[in-house]
Structure 1
């Protein structure tokens, strides 16, 4: 149990409680999807540790997933919050011992809490930046996915850790040592797909899985675009994730109309009332 200086308690969930809360969160989609994805992975994969806290158990209002910040690079990892009640969420953000407001923090939550998040940052005199606003796209029925062309299918493989550098250099939020370490961990622990060049056997297009189980970092090298590689990778990865019981979903930035069209055409849908948002505090 973690206790704040104001007396509010947050209980850290144990292994059995994580299995229970996974089932509970599934009934609260789409708002709970991202936190559910973290816990889904935690219940199946031995990867970098993530701590999960609730304000009450078993009837929680707020559930918070965060890395323990034990080593360099941990600060780059997101803290993610799902809440049923804005007042409870605000109370948690107001507690010094739950969120360390002296360090960099990337917070992922629903866009509907933007005003409250900004107000808390202002009260604490902490610089804050809204980094990204995204559609959350979900695939319910993989049978709608088109078949992958045999010529491309023969080139599809999984990324390995030697590919971390090229992924890091091309990712919008990457090209730092912290992001490199995060990407390498993702490749090591979670599913990925890539298309390998026939001659060099180096990746020319790829998609990864975040610790939240969301597909992401979809990218095709400039000189290989227009060949349907992204469509093939998303289709292949979606089938793979679905067959393994993963939630099949992704985040698409509002301004990324090409990716939005790609996922929509492949059968991904969204709740039009929901947007996910990420906020940076104390920029790195």
Structure 2
């Protein structure tokens, strides 16, 4: 197991790009880190340079790490290699509360097995679709804000970005729905992220049919065989 330094993280970014969109979450984290976006994460791989598993975990040497919920995310091309990292090599600290986010659902049985062997309680947090947009230039023109306000300056519709640069929480006040505000915000933020070099993608909860239709109608696509899941441990 190896902790990646600055130059190695840059090389890993190029490797992960070949596995988009399934690597989108870890790629987004690494893309930001490699462009000096503040982060409290540490990046570890099974071997270098030909890694098959990459894990982002809290960097305990970072003085700001305790200010945030403990989060772990990962990507692998070999489930057995990942299992060895988390079961035998202590790549994850199983002794404290943490969220494991954006996990390929096909890896869930293995993670459950390892958690059970360690006597760690866990529960399903959320199951999501992964939708991506290859070319946001086809989206309608819009303003550059991530928040739309009314004539009095009060927010009526807004979008947040996750720290791994996915399109995040989108909300429009009920009395302002049906006015096209959500589409305008999606178009705006998609074009902004694309211009900065990020892959444009979002996670949509499994039962959120309204948002799923909205994003698909705007040109976002998904691999129907893929789902991502969040787990909570030691709650």
Provide the C-alpha distance between the structure 2 equivalents of 1:22 and 1:96, rounded to a whole number of angstroms: 23
Residue-by-residue CA offset, 1:60-99 (whole Å, 9 max, x unaligned): 011001222554342x242111011111111112147422
Asked whether the equivalents of residues 40 and 59 of structure 2 are also in contact (C-alpha less than 8 Å), the reply is yes
**Residue in 1 that maps onto 2:186:** 234
Cα offset for 1:14? 0.8
Q: Which has the higher strand share?
A: 2
Deviations 1:144-183 (A, max 9, x none): 21234xxxx4xx63xxxxxxxxxxxxxxxxxxxxxxxxxx
CA–CA separation in structure 2 for the residues paired with 1:78 and 1:228? 34
Return closer, same or farther for 1:219/1:105 CA change in 2, 3 Å cut-off.
Answer: same
CA distance in 1, matches of 2:175, 2:36: 35
**Residue deviations 1:248-282, cap 9 Å, x none?**
11101111111111110110011111111111101
User: How far apart are 1:31 and its partner, in Å?
Assistant: 2.1
Query: In 2, are the aligned partners of 1:40 and 1:213 still within 8 Å (CA)?
Result: no
Q: Distance in 1 between matches of 2:194 and 2:89?
A: 40
Aligned to 1:100: 93
- Unaligned runs of at least 5 residues, structure 1: 1-9, 158-192
In structure 1, the partner of 2:22 is 31
Alignment match, 2:202:
250
Residue 133 of structure 1: how far off its partner (Å): 1.2
**TM-score w.r.t. structure 2 length?**
0.92
Q: 2:149 aligns with which of 196, 209, 214?
A: 196
Aligned length: 231
Give the Cα–Cα distance (whole angstroms) in 1 for the partners of residues 87 and 175 of structure 2.
Answer: 49
**Residue 55 in structure 1 maps to residue 46 in structure 2:** yes
Instruction: Return the alpha-carbon distance in structure 1 between the equivalents of residues 111 and 54 of structure 2.
Output: 16
Q: Shift of the alpha carbon at 1:225?
A: 1.9
Deviation string 1:178-229 (CA, Å, 9 cap, x unpaired) is xxxxxxxxxxxxxxx1112320x23222112212111101111233222221
Measured in 1, the distance between the counterparts of 2:59 and 2:37 equals 15
Of residues 11-20 and 203-212 in structure 1, the stretch that sits farther from structure 2 once superposed is 203-212
Counterpart for residue 83 of structure 2: 90
- Residue of structure 2 equivalent to 1:167: none
**Which segments of structure 1 move beyond 4 Å, counting only runs of 4 or more?**
none
The within-5 A match list for 1:1-284 is: 10-69=1-60, 70=63, 71-74=65-68, 76-95=69-88, 97-108=90-101, 109-148=103-142, 153=143, 157=145, 193-199=146-152, 201-283=153-235
1:22, distance to aligned residue in structure 2 (A): 0.7
Query: CA RMSD, aligned part only?
Result: 1.6
Sort the Cα spacing of 1:131 and 1:194 in 2 relative to 1 into closer, same or farther, 3 A.
Answer: same
Contact 2:161 2:167 in 1 (8 A): yes
